[in-house]
Amino acid sequence: MRWTIKPKPEQKDINALTKALNVNELVAQLLLQRGITTYEEAKKFFRPKLSDLHNPFLMKNMDVAVERVEKAISSNENILVYGDYDVDGTTSVALVSSYLLSYYPNVATYIPDRYDEGYGVSYKGIDFAEDNSFSLIIALDCGVKAIDKVAYAKEKGIDFIICDHHRPGDILPEAVAVLDPKRDDCTYPYDELCGCGVGFKLIQALGVRREETIEDLIPYLDLVATAIGADIVPMTGENRVLAHFGLEVINSNPRIGFKAIINQIKKTVLTITDVVFIIAPRINAAGRMKHGQHAVNLLTETDMSQATKFAAGIEKYNLDRRSLDQEITKEALQQIKENQEEKGFTSVVYKDSWHKGVIGIVASRLTETYYRPTLVFTKSGEKLAASARSVKGFDVYNALQGCSDYIEQFGGHKYAAGLTLLEEQYGNFKHQFEKVVSETIDPKMLQPEILIDALVEIKDMNPKLMRILKQFAPFGPGNMSPVFMAENLQDSGYAKGVGQDAAHLKLAVTQNGYGPLGGIGFNLGDKLNTVINRQTFDAVFSLDENEWQGNVSLQLKLRDLR
């Protein structure tokens, strides 16, 4: 790990915020690093309010979108709510369809098949709409680049409203309305919403016309919070407000579908991290292993016994996904070793029998192991399909552009992409990708970086600080859980490896006569020799709580030692 300490804000700014908020300097420093400079901004940060949400009609085309939905309802048209097969897409579809169905019956949902139709709006979906007399499609988490598909629908007399959050191309589709805060001509005050967030702004606007208050829409926020966490959008501004209240719904009165998942996992209070690692993978597993419509069915179900059956099915998809992902990861790591490619700048692996639904997860796992741009290929029909993952700071999408001579098609963004190519081009592509990456990557990027908020002393890690840090949640990009560094620590003498194969490190640290304070380092078992025999060491950690037999104590969650 490369340790990088963030620049400390100006002392005068720290002093001013310390005084304004009546907090200690460390808390003031952490707030300033998150762009919070005044009492008012801190109040909004620590005490989010639904009234902090922006007026939905500030979004370009919102008025047109609302008028078209109202016209569809007054003319008794059939509305098709269409969305992608991932968490953001399926939660969006569940959100908008269940809202519309609460007062209008002619609404159905459509999720494209991952294998048959691929990502986004499909011709098959439009044909389905025509065959079933749908005259309005509301596309969520996709569609902003579907120029040909929207034109095809228009020829058939089908209108589109697009709710997307991806960056548009130079030309927008000829939809009735394109709601996308990343449009160059959209002046909406916050442009980091996820697809489900844009869907929520649409129902918020429809609600305004129906004289509903924002409180009437709170029950839908469990879906929005899940999408925000799963889609890894910044946990700032409006997203933070939506996630905060969405988590409250998940923990107090979640929809029946969430209740069915939570009953399986038997966890009482869920954080955004639990949503990302427990709820989201289950919702995603439906689209990976079977069909995303199964996730929508669960998330819109209102009968508990039926939801329990759906959740059991999804749990099975998730277990299948997990065992496939472990098996393929093992085979891929073996392939890298056998071909002696550990020393290159990239990892590119292929086997025709690997399951297309999990190659993205496998690419992420390989990136964690070797920390370099990675591609995992499998056979898809007549062609090869791949998922690409990158390392912090390196644009894998640009690298693929440098290999476009060998690629049939590709799409994605800086850190994750997908592509297809002809099997006979695999060798040429692999060679070119290694060449492009080796010529353009800064070697520093091949070593994972850990960003440190502040240098601290162990004596300052106390329950009062922990209480304040808890109020920094929910965490996510733009507001990550604070990471600290402490120097010249010693173990109290009882450090040991714990867990299977002693993979984790358990210790208790002291510093300048203060301590001991317990610590756990997951997957740091190999660092035991750094801390035994009272050697001094430095540590990077976050502050955490350990609950054991009803007792709660402070502990350091170690990230790295040296």
Model pLDDT, residue 265: 85
- Residue 546 tokens read as 């350990």
Q: Comparing C-alpha atoms, which of 271, 231, 264, 265 is closest to residue 248?
A: 271
Write the pLDDT tens digit of every residue in 61-84.
999 999 999 999 999 999 999 999
- Cβ density class 269-306: b for 16+ within 10 Å, e for less: ebbbebbbebbbbbbbbbbbbbbbbbbbbbbbbeeeee
430 sits in which H/E element:
helix 426-440
**222 within 8 A of 245, measured Cβ to Cβ:** no
Across all residues in the chain, what is the average pLDDT? 95
Structure tokens at 341: 């490619």
CATH code of 2-6+450-561, in short, is 2.40.50.460
The reported pLDDT for the residue numbered 413 is 78
How is 92-137 classified by DSSP, letter by letter?
HHHHHHHHHHTT-S-EEEE---TTTT-SS--HHHHHHHHHTTEEEE
Quote the pLDDT of residue 437: 97
- pLDDT confidence of residue 341: 67
**Domain 56-313 adopts which CATH fold?**
inorganic pyrophosphatase (n-terminal core) (3.90.1640)
Burial class for 550, CB neighbours closer than 10 Å (0-12, 13-18, 19+): exposed
> What are the structure tokens assigned to 363, written together?
């690419």
CATH fold of 339-446 reads Diaminopimelate Epimerase; Chain A, domain 1 (3.10.310)
pLDDT tens figures, 100-114: 999 999 999 999 998
Give yes or no for a contact between 504 and 474, defined as CB atoms under 8 angstroms apart: no
CA-based nearest residue to 332, from 307, 384, 367: 367
Whether the CB-CB separation of 199 and 140 falls below 8 Å is answered with yes
Dist CA 509 CA 536 (whole Å):
10
pTM of the model: 0.92
Q: Which residues of the chain have pLDDT under 70?
A: 341-342
The residue ranges of every structural domain in the chain are 2-6+450-561, 56-313, 339-446
- pLDDT of 409: 85
SS3 484: strand
Residue 23 CB-density burial (10 A; 0-12 exposed, 13-18 middle, 19+ buried) = middle
pLDDT tens, residue by residue, 204-258: 999 999 999 999 999 999 999 999 999 889 999 999 999 999 999 999 999 999 9
Q: Token digits for 94?
A: 């569940």
